[in-house]
Amino acid sequence: MNPIDLVLARLDGNKLRQQGKGWVACCPAHDDKNPSLSINLGDDGRVLLNCFGGCSVPQVCSAMGIGLSDLFEKSDWRNDGKFQRSRLSREADWAAAIGLLVRESLIVILAAQETAGGAALGADDMARLSMSIERITRAREVLNGK
């Protein structure tokens, strides 16, 4: 079974529906009532997962009963079990980094609006803002070729 079909099969029944070029579903890694998990197919064939509730990709995979390696075509893995970065194009890396920057920037903007309005951010909001800053930093590293 190819990676996207495996993921979609594991999410069937989690309010899975097609949205644009991808899908959304309730995240299996947390008590999700409204779909917060975005599922897309990267230009290079890998499955891209993003939980807007803050779950990490390893947490989502674990909840689905699959490993991170299941998100990639088996041909992407060398005999020694390491991923072949050569298959990933620079354009796909940039597209993923820019998409991440857009999504995470929205979190930063929402936090700024809350604090500008005089509201204090709670512990959960601060944790999510910290995660956004880490993700933005990693995306910047990709864009800088590090």
- Last residue within a domain, chosen from 66, 84, 102: 84
Are residue 30 and residue 102 in the same domain, yes or no?
no
Are residue 130 and residue 76 in the same domain, yes or no?
no
How many Cα atoms within 13 Å fall on the side-chain side of residue 18?
4
Are residue 108 and residue 72 in the same domain, yes or no?
no
Q: What is the pLDDT of residues 36-70, one digit of tens each?
A: 999 998 877 789 999 999 999 999 999 999 888 88
Contact 110, 103 (CB under 8 A): no
- Last residue within a domain, chosen from 84, 114, 130: 84
Are residue 73 and residue 94 in the same domain, yes or no?
no
* pLDDT confidence of residue 86: 45
* pLDDT confidence of residue 14: 84
Are residue 1 and residue 33 in the same domain, yes or no?
yes
Contact 100, 40 (CB under 8 A): no
Find the CATH number of the domain harbouring 5.
Answer: 3.90.580
* pLDDT confidence of residue 141: 80
Number of domains in the chain: 2
Distance CA 38, CA 141 (A): 23
Contacts of 15 (CB under 8 A, 6+ apart): 24, 25, 26, 34, 35
Are residue 59 and residue 72 in the same domain, yes or no?
yes
Are residue 2 and residue 38 in the same domain, yes or no?
yes
By three-state DSSP, how is residue 47 classified?
Answer: strand
Residues 7-16, mean pLDDT to the nearest whole number: 88
pTM: 0.53
Q: Which domain holds residue 8?
A: 1-84
Are residue 5 and residue 61 in the same domain, yes or no?
yes
